[in-house]
Amino acid sequence: MTPFPATPFRAPFLTPFLVLFVALGADSAEPVATRSVSVKVVDRIGRPVKDFEAFLLPVCSKVAVRAEKEGFVAEVPAGVEAVGLRLTARSFEAADVTVAPEAAAVEATLKAKGSVRVSFLAIDERRGGTLAVSLKETVDPVAGTKGRLLAERTATVEPRPAQNAVVLDDVPPGDWVLWWEGPGLAAGTKVVRVGEARTEAGTVTLLPGRSVEGAVRDDLGLVVSGARVRLRTGGGLTGRPLGTDRSARSGSDGGFSVNGLPLDETFAWDVTSPEHEDARGSLGGETRLEVVLVRAQRVTGRLVDEEGLPVADAPLEVSYTKSTVTTDAEGHERRHTSVEGHREQVVSREDGTFSFFRHLPFAVQVAPSQAGTLPEARVLEPLGDHAEPGEPDLGDPVLRKGRMLTGRVARADGGAAVEGARLEAVWRKGVGGSMGTERGFTDPDGTFRIDGILPGPEVTLTVRKEGFATKTVRVAPETESVDVLLGRGGRVQGRACGTAWEFSHMAIWYGPGGGISNQNIVRVEASGRFELENTEPGPVTFARSWRFRDPAQPGSTFDWSGQVRASVEVKEGETSQFTLGCEGLPLSGVVTRGGRPVTSEIVAFSLGGSPATDALTDAAGSFSTRVPSPGLWLLSARGGATTSAASCEVPPGGLEGCRVELTPSGQ
């Protein structure tokens, strides 16, 4: 306990007799009366500090603190005198507060012990400049972090070889996003992990940057203000994982300026506005972008139950589906189906009505998603090139009860009930259609009930409980009740092959009977090893996949199911071992675009058909993988078509140093 300093708080005078009485611990002493005081402890941006302790001053005796629904409550001595408290927490400096006799609550802001130091290296020996450096919270809806600004500094950058250090203090522990931008510079970000001391974020080499200006108007030529203009590195909807991502809003005159873009990069751009269709395209070295937004079609409807009564406050899932077919230089057709969700949440009103603006001209499916009910989906066909917007009415979609599945989950060794097991019922809505899903949990007696299942198709019921093997059961259309026994299963020990860069972004997906799922993920150690306990007996397929998450951007998780797969037979009580991506001929090289390394790009290799393997390029554009056999292996990036121009001729002994130059479109 830190000694109590000479602070303005003064405790009441204690007589020598009273001190002696307390020291002797007389049995007749009555306990000190206490009262409850709400205590709120936060960091510098107002986030709660949960693991704190309170001590009574000046004696530094610990005060009882308990968590309640609305926060924390401390029991402090009751009376007419003010009470001094010292609040401490790991990774923070202590703070003293005074609780007035009449106060029901007290709040304190703790200063963090952590800090971040970063150095910047100017573009060259002649150019310096100014730089805005900031530290922001990560964006993670699950953790409740919202990307709030923690600290900001303006730094003067001296020309090379000067090292321009910036220190940001009072940084709470956790992951933070370091941002930097300045006139004529490419903006950048870096995620830093902060503990209880100073974190060295290394040296950042600044790069020259450019701006893109333009204006946004609608198809009538009217100005569109407040539209979001976003430019991202690479092509396609997702851009390149963890690449440049900059945006701006159009002003009252429709004009905008997106700054801090790196030179000689190709950008995917998209412009969005609530009552307009999204506009998309790609941008090379241009510095001007004129955008025309098409007025969006307004879609309406009314949600009712089986008796025709309106259903209020029910969410509706709106999704857009686009299917395209491409042909590569060798004549191989590839079918692509993309599904995108609606940007805003759509909820039925008190009278059951709902409406939204159609953001994309693709086919639209609207399905109520209220738990325990069977949604009646409505579909709108794609809009033609010259279709009139109009206001289509979807009528009255009905929420029905659907099929009910009941049962019981018990232990295989004795039949005891399993409480709190997670259940997921999945079925196919039609031939080649989407999947329907309902979830539930078992009660204390192991029983369960799942409503809202589509009548007719077979249901796949998956049961999960920590400490047991996942159990997958096929339920026939006519079955109304099913009992599931959970056992311990088997152990799987695997080793994935790849580079250290790949391991930092690698995840293993798996599933029974050849079907993998990103709901089943096991993390990979730095050595490439991974392990699963209590795996469901039977054949299990594993896939080497890729996962990126940019904490600076909301909803930015990027998952890609890899091409490298392996299957293993899991047996009850036994250990199965296998390798993933370790067999075949070695193939390594560098991928460039415009002579510059292509970083963090997933590249796939195929030989006369579907891709057989893939790899992840590192910061230098290098890749390393293995191919099953010699031959001309064609490379594709971002799912683009393959061409013989982007290929590696692999001899029987393997190949090192293959160099592939990609076009701006990724081919």
Q: State the chain's mean pLDDT as an integer.
A: 87
Domain ranges for the chain: 16-109, 115-205, 209-293, 298-397, 403-486, 490-580, 585-662
Q: How many other β-carbons are positioned within 10 Å of the β-carbon of residue 453? A: 23
Residue 385 has pLDDT above 80, yes or no: no
For position 25, what pLDDT does the model report?
Answer: 43
Choice between 429 and 433, residue whose per-residue pLDDT is larger:
429
- Contact (Cβ atoms closer than 8 angstroms) between residue 660 and residue 650: no
Q: Mean pLDDT throughout 357-377?
A: 88
Please state, in angstroms and rounded to a whole number, the distance separating the CA atoms of residues 197 and 453: 53
Residue 201 carries which DSSP code?
E
pLDDT band of 330, cuts 50, 70, 90: low
Residue 652 carries which DSSP code?
T
Lowest-pLDDT choice from 153-167, 286-300, 429-443: 429-443
For position 15, what pLDDT does the model report?
Answer: 36
Q: Check: CATH 1.10.3470.10 for 298-397?
A: no
Could you give the percent of the chain with pLDDT greater than 70? 88
Return phi, psi of residue 501, to 5°.
Answer: -60, -40
For position 620, what pLDDT does the model report?
Answer: 85
Top-tier CATH class for 490-580: mainly beta
**Predicted confidence (pLDDT) per residue in 50-104, tens digit:** 889 999 999 989 999 998 877 899 999 998 899 999 999 999 999 999 999 999 9
Return phi, psi of residue 143, to 5°.
Answer: -80, -10
Top-tier CATH class for 115-205: mainly beta
For position 418, what pLDDT does the model report?
Answer: 96
Please state, in angstroms and rounded to a whole number, the distance separating the CA atoms of residues 51 and 110: 12
Neighbouring C-alpha atoms within 13 Å toward the C-beta of 646: 24
3-state SS class at 322? strand
**Predicted confidence (pLDDT) per residue in 177-204, tens digit:** 999 999 999 998 888 889 999 999 999 9
For position 61, what pLDDT does the model report?
Answer: 93
CA angle 343, 347, 349 (to 5 degrees): 145
CATH placement of domain 209-293: 2.60.40.1120
CA angle 634, 637, 642 (to 5 degrees): 35
For position 22, what pLDDT does the model report?
Answer: 37
For position 275, what pLDDT does the model report?
Answer: 95
Residues whose CB falls within 8 Å of the CB of residue 568, separated by 6 or more in sequence, listed in order: 492, 494, 539, 540, 542, 576, 577, 578
- Contact (Cβ atoms closer than 8 angstroms) between residue 236 and residue 326: no
Q: What is the fold, at CATH topology level, of the domain defined by 585-662? A: Immunoglobulin-like (2.60.40)
- Contact (Cβ atoms closer than 8 angstroms) between residue 157 and residue 128: yes
Q: Check: CATH 2.60.40.10 for 16-109?
A: no
Q: Mean pLDDT throughout 505-530?
A: 87
Q: Full-prediction pTM beyond 0.75?
A: no
The two structure tokens encoding residue 269: 């751009």
Residue 640 has pLDDT above 60, yes or no: no
Q: What is the fold, at CATH topology level, of the domain defined by 403-486? A: Immunoglobulin-like (2.60.40)
Please state, in angstroms and rounded to a whole number, the distance separating the CA atoms of residues 31 and 11: 18
**Predicted confidence (pLDDT) per residue in 544-587, tens digit:** 998 876 655 655 567 788 889 999 999 989 999 999 999 999 99
- CATH topology match: 16-109 vs 403-486: yes
**Predicted confidence (pLDDT) per residue in 141-167, tens digit:** 666 777 899 999 999 999 999 999 999
For position 99, what pLDDT does the model report?
Answer: 96
pLDDT band of 355, cuts 50, 70, 90: very high
DSSP string across 438-449: EEEE--TTSEEE
- Contact (Cβ atoms closer than 8 angstroms) between residue 371 and residue 399: no
For position 125, what pLDDT does the model report?
Answer: 94
The two structure tokens encoding residue 512: 């029974």
The two structure tokens encoding residue 437: 């899903």
